[in-house]
Amino acid sequence: MSAYLLIISTQAPYHSSAAIDAFEAALAASNVGLQVKILLEDDGVYQCVESQQAESIFHKNTYKKLCSLPLYDIEDIYVDKASIDFRGLRITNDGKLSYSIINQDDVLLLKRASQQILVF
């Protein structure tokens, strides 16, 4: 497996800059030629809730931003299954946002195989 930068986003989409910081870091890294993979973990899994209505708080929709990542050559997006289950979410890969839901063992493998990890 080739070297990659793993960006772990652990915060809910709005009310802090963490989610957007993770997104922009991913774009910047991809822009300079790094292979980037993104892991949504802990409260970060709320970012892939499709029914967000961010316009009600005058934000841009984080789900739609994630959908745009393949345009920047970032196609490996992973979501931690344990974080989804703990929060009682019903998140399925519906095709608009392409991601893989992975278990704890695979999360660990993803982290171990990465060259660098950035946590937001």
Partner 1 sequence: MLIQVMCNKLDQVTAYIDDESIHFVLLQNGVYLLPRLLTLVSPHRIKVLDVDWRAAGLDAQFNDHPAINNKHVNYISHTQWVVLCAEHTPVMTLQ
Kindly state the helix (H) or strand (E) to which residue 76 belongs, with its residue range. strand 76-80
Residue 15 or residue 96: which is nearer to partner 1 going by CB? 15
* Token digits of residue 99: 């991601």
Cβ 120 vs Cβ 7: under 8 Å: yes
Residue 43 or residue 75: which is nearer to partner 1 going by CB? 43
| Residue at 81: amino acid letter | K
Q: Is 9 exposed, middle or buried (0-12, 13-18, 19+ CB in 10 A)?
A: buried
Q: Give min distance, CB of 56 to partner 1, in A.
A: 4
Residue 4 or residue 63: which is nearer to partner 1 going by CB? 63
Q: Give min distance, CB of 34 to partner 1, in A.
A: 30
Residue 59 or residue 81: which is nearer to partner 1 going by CB? 59
Q: Give min distance, CB of 2 to partner 1, in A.
A: 35
Residues near partner 1 (CB under 8 A)? 12-16, 43, 46, 49-54, 56-57, 59, 63, 87-90
Residues in Cβ contact with 16 at an 8 Å cutoff, skipping those fewer than 6 apart: none
Q: Give min distance, CB of 116 to partner 1, in A.
A: 28
Cβ 23 vs Cβ 65: under 8 Å: yes
